Each structure stands twice: as structure tokens, then as C-alpha cells.
Structure 1
Amino acid sequence: MQRWRQKKTPFPLFALLFCAFIVASIFYTESNREIQIQVESQASVTDVTSHALFTASLPTNFSNHFPKRLYSDKLDWSKACSSSRNYSIHDGWISSKGKPDLESGSPTRCDVFSGRWIIDNASHPLYNEGDCPYMSDQLACRKHGRPDSMYQKWRWQPHDCNLKRWNAIEMLEKLRGKRLMFVGDSLDRGQWISMVCLLQSAIGNGSKSMSPNARLTIFRAEEYNASVEFYWAPLLVESNSDDPVNHRMADRIIRPDSVLKHASEWEKADILIFNTYLWWRQGNIKLLWSSDEDGVCEELDGLGAMKFAMEAWADWVDSNVNPLEKKVFFVTMSPTHLWSREWQPGSDGNCFDEKTPINMDGYWGSGSDGPTMRMVESVLGRLESKVSILNITQLSEYRKDGHPSIYRKFWETLSPQQLSNPVSYSDCIHWCLPGVPDVWNELLFHFL
């Protein structure tokens, strides 16, 4: 596959833009704002037909905004997007046919992402919920009253080979002297907590620590000079939801061309695990381009906005990641189980009270969005060996029993009507621990 090549901006055009910037700077200054000018060359798409992952093309004007970016360290999001206009150029540029077929990046011919769940009372769970002091109340299902424990005892078995068995000491040796960083939303945070719980029992009490809860939370294994970190960036690019606590906004606003603020932390890690998905499925997204200072935003559906963010992220990976020095993984979407009629026709529930996996090979519910997966394919396709894919979607689709449902801490007060109808407030998005995210980390262990 031919790589994207940079275009050189013609010198006269550059001089004209530079002069225009100087003039604008004279007539428009603000004493309390520091502005850093960041000019990035735009990329062009060459022949992509030779790679199977390229199933979608970019909108024709995708990079029109990019030659004129201004990055500000401080932005008052409450005053952003005083008005908005529709963005519609993207219409029709994502295919909606066929099922996604992400490449695994496996070092062998065996597809470890294709298999089935089997009961393994001997080796599972890999740790006890109550023995992990870093467990989240959002994921501690037994602590919050879940009566069954079978969801902890399922092991993922690939069809034609074996997944490398988890070994905490071996994993710690792989991390010796390194920083492993999970980047994303609460689902990625769940995978991070899983990894911490998988490792911490193999570390002496005086040789481990956890930093206070913040945007970047760090678990340290002192004996190994290693850290396992979580960085809150649910939309990958800069957004008004970047506060790890106060991120519930009526309008979701992103800077679709700006990853530098987050990347200043990413670039320090040796192993990076990225994830983004569900936050793009909550209505339209407002786009605040870094060059726009008039408060006018463009508005786009979640899939189109995610495409822009993924491309900005991919540009950073392509320009900054040397696969000999830094390993990057992208975790595919984590499915939801909101409609039981999809696996049990005629029913009217969700994941509540589910106790066994779906026994239907190739099951694919509406909680996993095909067009989004194909868009991710197209973006990851151009990164070649720089990113490895952890395709957790299909194997997680089977686990309708693995969600917290009503067995978690809820920070909002539940109404009597909700309490009388458990289906109405069941969490069918996140995952109980021990449980499904442990397998995601076994896959990570397999590929490291």
C-alpha cells in the first residue's frame, strides 16, 4: 500500500498567509491569551485500492481547514459555538454494506479473535474482586449484590489455537522500565482497572502505589520501575468533555483537528492502548475548528465527527510513532446489550438477569455499529505496522451476561418508578470485574 505523502505548500502562498497573519495580529490582540501557531501540512490520498481495509474515501474537502490551525492552551468552552451551521459534505462517504473484517495483526495465522466462551472453574476468575483494592464501585458487581458468580468463570477459547495464558510476573517483566497507558473513556478505564487488578496481587504491598484520581491516573510497580496509567480522553481530540468528572454536557463540542494537548501526555508512554466509540453515538457533535475565532461551529452527526477525530489521531500516530520504540494498540468497539429481542425474539428486556453468554456463532447485535467499524478500518488501514488491532467486538458480543446491570453503584438517586422496573436502569454498557475486560488484557498480553 502506498503511504500518504505530504504536500509542500507553495512558497508564495505561504508568504501571503504569513503576511495576512501579521496584519491580523496587529489589529486583533488579547493581553490575557497566549496563542501558539501550529502549521501542519495536509496529506493527500494516493492509490489505496491495494489494501483491503480501505473501504471508504475521505470527504473531498477534509483537509481544507488544516493549513490554518491556531492552538490555544486555554479555551472557555461555555462561550464556544455561539451559533452553528450544518456540515453536509461528508454525505455518502462511508459504505454501509457488509460486515467489518478488521485484521488482527496476529503474529501467527491463528485468529485469536474467533472462538467461543467455555467454563473454566480451574483458572478463572484470574483474581478475586474483593482482593483488588483498586476496584471501581461501577464494576464491582458482587459487592453490589449480584447473586451469581458464573460470569467470572468463562474463558475465551479461539477455534484453532490457544490464547497465551495470563502470567502476571511475565507481564510485569514485559513492562519493566516502561509506561503502559490506556487512553479513552470509562470503558477504557475499565480495561485499565482490570489490568491493575491482574497485576497488583503479584506485587508486594510496599512496592505499589496509585496516584490521586485525575485526568491521568497512574499505578506504579516500583520494583519493576513500571507504570500502568489511564488518561481520560473520550473523544481522542480536544473537547468540552475532557474533564474526568464534569463531562456531561448538553452539547458535545470537539476541536476535530486538535490532538496536541492530549498527545503531550501520550508521547511519554512506551505502550499505548486507545479506544473511542460510545461517546460518538449520543447525537450530533459540534465542530470548533482551531482556526475559527468567531464562535461559529459546524454541526455533524457522530459518525462523521468521529471520522475527523480518528484522522487527526492517525496523523499524530503516523508522524510520531516509531514501531521499534513505541507500541500502539487500538481496541475496537465494546458492544452493548440493550435489547434482548435481538438474541431472544419476542422478549422485551435487556441485559438484566442474564446469566449465560449468547450461544449463536457470529452473533452481531445493534450495539455494534457496522458503518463505524468500517470507518475505523479505513483509518487504521493507512497506518500499516504502526498500530495493532485488538478486535474485542465479536467475542464481547456473546457476553450479554457480563454487564453490571443493576449491580453497581449509581451516583444518581433512582426514582421509585425505576426501582420497580430494573430493566429501566440496568447498565448494559460497562462490564463486571472480574470478567470480559480481563480477556481484552489477555489478548494484549498475547501480542506484547
Structure 2
Amino acid sequence: MPLTRKAYRAAILHSIADPAEVGIEASYEYFEDGLLVVENGQISAIGHASELLATLPADIEITHYQDALITPGLIDTHIHLPQTGMVGAYGEQLLDWLNTYTFPCESQFADKAHADEVADIFIKELLRNGTTTALVFGSVHPQSVNSFFEAAQQLDLRMIAGKVMMDRNAPDYLTDTAESSYVESKALIERWHGKGRLHYAVTPRFAPTSTPEQLTLAGQLLGEYPDLYMQTHISENLKEVEWVKELFPERKGYLDVYDHYQLLGERSVFAHGVHLCDDECARLAETGSAIAFCPTSNFFLGSGLFNLPMAEKHKLNVGLGTDVGGGTSFSLLQTLNEAYKVMQLQGARLSPFKSLYLATLGGARALRLEDKIGTLHTGTDADFLVLDYNATPLLSYRLKQANNIAETLFVLMTLGDDRTVLQTYAAGTLVHQR
């Protein structure tokens, strides 16, 4: 294979640490006139253009962007592929919303042609919004995952997904059994896990829709394949929390259900966690588990406000999730706009650098992939974006008033959306051009 080396010149910004741990100033690296060098799908150099240009061969192709910012690709730690067709569904809280909209929409994925079509739309939406890695729920049908991974593999994307396991408290047309969910998940793991940049996640939907037998087998899969992911939901809605207590009266609480079935661990990501208590946060942190913070969805479904300061106190890994279709946008920029408001309503602050961290390095740490994605360090995958300062007339005008990178970043996160993403690169290849 011939050596491919290219360079990209623009303002460059990436997170290098959690501001909650090192302070804001030490949490990021910014090059006002920066250069990013990409070789064979990986980043081989990053720095000031004035210093790096002299080190490059004379014939290297350099793309120079004016009025633009290069950042790492964004990481969505919680999203539902089969809910793409019902995003923005009116007027219900979680449990009614599942029965009224979600389950009928997910039932269509029994059809491979439908699964293929939606996987294509879904991946295009992710890339259009600058999301280069996502932790994805399929439907209960194995073909939903096959369709998604087939489409992701063609573009050499780093993606994680799993077939939903759901053997009770859902319509008959959408349930599997404890045994079939184990067998089908195992077949998907054997086919896809570790293939290219793809990873598999064991995916019980949430405690109320899985029998103890199914949760036992989910834990067994994690034991059989040590580097698998596990994704599910927790403590999203107060009625849901009460329902879990009724279904599992022998357990101390919602998290204890998952803990009992050995579903906590370094690659376990729990979506929402709006109503967690201190002890549960401590236990999640102790086991290396992570939370996906989904502010847009938590507002839309009236679920509540996630307590990020409590998670920070316990040094709990937190990523950001759009949670489409409970969330109403594929854009992590728009999701950060909502996250800021969640903190405001609790009398807390969310700095633009913490926001950048949550959408990039924080998500990578939640997924244990910080050696590969989430920053622009040399040796990492060349998954990055070019954000356009002139994407809309208002954004263009507003950014001309910005005095520093903190203000620029915050404006991008409040006024930005898919239009702001000029280009998206995955493993050094252009996968979206606005």
C-alpha cells in the first residue's frame, strides 16, 4: 500500500484532560494557526504551522482552511438506530412513549431492506453532524446490527453496536427469549467484534424488559469475551425507577440489579442516570463503569436533570449522548447547548472546555478508547472535523465579536448544528463534505 501523507492547516483545538481534574487551562491544547499531519489513517504530527511546515516534504498536499476550527471527531455514547424514523414524536413521558411510538417503529427492522435503508440514513446523519464514533442500540432483530455494521465497515468507521435483548414487558412481536438473545448476540459478536474498527456491545434494553434469566446470560457473554461492551439504561424516569423496585424487590435498587448480574465494568455504559444517588455513583466509579449524559432527551421526555457535579465528585466517567429518538437532534453541538442549560438550572457552570471534553475525550474515556480517538495526539486515529465559522450569517457575525477561543467555542456550541460541520474525516478519509 502506498504511503499517504496529507496536512491540514487551520485553527486546531483538542481536549487533553478533564477540566474538573486539572483545571481549565491545563485541559486543552490550542493552535491559532495549526497544522495536522495525517499518515495512513493516523495522526503523525500536530503543532504550530510555523514550526511544522519546514519539516514536511515539498510535495505534500496541504489543505488550508480559512475561518475554520479543526477538532477531534465527536463521540456519541448513547443513540438508537431504529428510532431514527420517530425522532420528534409528540407528547409522552418515557414508558408511554416506548409503547406508543418506539416499539411499533422498531418492529419494522424485521425487514432487512428496511434495516439497510435506515442504517444508511443514520450513518449519513452522524457524519453530517461530525459524529465519528457512536455507541448504538439496534433493535431486537440481529439484522438491524448487521445492516449498521455493514454500512459502517464500508467507511472504516469506529463504531460500537448491539442487538437489544428484551424478553418481557414489551409487545409479542418485539420480544426475544433469554436463550435466543444469547445465541443471536454470540453470532453477532463472532461476526463483527474487533473486525476493522468495529466493536460489539451486549445490549439489554433496561432491567424491566429482561427476565433474570436473560440478564444472567448477558453477564455470561461479558465473561466469555473480556473486551466486549455493555450498554443499557438506568434511572432515567421516576416511574421507571419505581417499576424496577416492583420487578426486583430483592435488590437494593436499580443499579444493584445490574450489579447482581455482573453487568458493571470498564466497558459498561449506562444511559441517563438522572435519578442516581451518591452511593450508586460511587459504585459505578469503583467498577470503572460510565454514564451517558443525554440532556436533550431528558428535557424532551421530561425525565429530569443529570447531576454532573455529583459524577465529577466521584470521578465517574461521563460521555455525552444524543439519545435519538428521545433526543431530537443528531448534533452533539446542539446537545451541548442543552447540557449547558441543565447545569444552569442546577446553579452549576459548564465551561466550553468541559463541554468539548464531554463530546470528545470524555466520551473516548467512557468507551476506553482514549488511546485511539477523542484527541488529536500523534498515533491516534485521524477522526477529525472542520467547523466553519461562517456556516450561517448569524454565526459568522457573532464569531467576529468573539475575543478568544473560549468564547468562540461556546458560540459554536450554542449556535452551531449540522451546518457548522464543513467536513468530517474518519481514519484520514473524507466521509462527509457539506
TM-score (norm: length of structure 2): 0.28
Higher strand proportion: 2
TM-score (norm: length of structure 1): 0.28
Higher helix proportion: 2
